[in-house]
Amino acid sequence: MIRQELSRQLDHDPNFRWRGEAVTRIENLSDIVFALALGMLVSVSTPPHTYSELGPHLMSIVPVAACFAVLLVIWNAHFTFFRRYGVADGYIIFLNAVLLLFVLFIAYPLRFAFDSLFAWILAAFQGHWEYMTELGISSFRQAGFILAWFYGGLSFIYFLIHLMYKHALTKADILDLNMSELAMTRRSIWRYFCEMLICALVAAGAALTPLGAFTAAFSILNWPIAVAIRRRIKLSPESAIKSPARG
C-alpha cells in the first residue's frame, strides 16, 4: 500500500488514475517512430573528418538539444494520454497514425529551423556568416518560410492531440473519470486547442507578414494561456484524494 501511494505521488501525473497500465502495440510503434525522428535530428549532421571540423560539429549540440526538447514535449503528451485513458479504438488508432506521420514530417524542418536560428545568432553576435551561407539562406523571407513549415506541422500535431482528448471525454462514463479527472481532461482539450491556434498564428505570420521568423515570439502566449486555463477549470480536491492509487 505504501509503495502504491509513493508511486502515485512521485510521478508526473499524481492526480490521475492511469487506465492504460499495459503497454500496447500502438505505443510500441509510436515509440519506434519517435526514436526514428530523434535519430533523424542527429543524422542530419555531417561527421567531422578533420580537426578543424570538430568544433563546428560539437557546436551543433545546441540546435540538436532544442529539437530534442520539442520532440520530447510531443512524446510526453502522447505518453500521458495513453497512460491516462488506455483508449485504443479505431478513431484513436487513426489519429495516432496521422500524428506519427506528422512527427516524421516535421523532423527535418525542425532541425533546419533551429540550425537557421543558431546560424543567425552566430552571424549577428560573432559575425560568422559562413554558417548562413552553408545552409543556403540568403534572405529574411526564406527564414520566415522555414519557420512557417515547422509551425504549420506542429499546429496540426497539437490539433490531433486535442481531438484525442475530446474523444476520451466522450468515453468518460466507460472510463469512470472522477470530477478532478474530468477537469484535467477539459484542461488538456483547451490547452492543446490554444497551442494549435498559436502555432497556426505563428506559421501564418511567418509566411505572410513582414515580421517573418520573428513571429515565433508569439509562442510565449502559451504560458499565460495555460495559467488562465488552470484558473478557469479548477480541480476538485475531494475527488482527487478519493481517486484510487495505481498499482
Q: Is 205 within the bounds of a domain?
A: yes
Residues 185-219: b if buried by 16+ CB within 10 A, e if exposed: bbbbbbbbbbbbbbbbbbbebbbeeeebbbbbebe
Q: Is 40 within the bounds of a domain?
A: yes
Which of 225, 223, 224, 243 minimizes the C-alpha distance to 235?
243
Contacts by 165-170, CB closer than 8 A, 24 or more apart: 165/81, 165/189, 165/192, 167/87, 167/91, 167/92, 167/95, 168/81, 168/84, 168/85, 168/87
Indicate yes or no: pTM above 0.75. yes
Q: Which of 4-8, 88-92, 106-110, 176-180 has the lowest mean pLDDT?
A: 4-8
Q: Is 81 within the bounds of a domain?
A: yes
Q: Is 247 within the bounds of a domain?
A: no
pLDDT at 150: 85
Count of domains forming the chain: 1
Q: Is 34 within the bounds of a domain?
A: yes
Question: When comparing pLDDT for 75 and 46, which is higher?
Answer: 75
User: Which domain range does residue 182 map to?
Assistant: 20-242
pLDDT at 132: 59
Residue 75 C-alpha cell reads as: 512524446
Q: Is 32 within the bounds of a domain?
A: yes
pLDDT at 1: 45
Residue 8 has pLDDT above 70, yes or no: no
- pLDDT tens per residue across span 97-123: 999 999 988 888 787 777 777 777 766
- pLDDT tens per residue across span 191-235: 999 999 999 999 999 888 888 778 888 888 888 999 999 999 887
Q: Is 60 within the bounds of a domain?
A: yes
Residue 176 C-alpha cell reads as: 469512470
Neighbours of 44 (CB within 10 A): 16
Neighbours of 170 (CB within 10 A): 11
What torsion, rounded to 10 degrees, do the Cα atoms 173, 176, 178, 179 define? -10
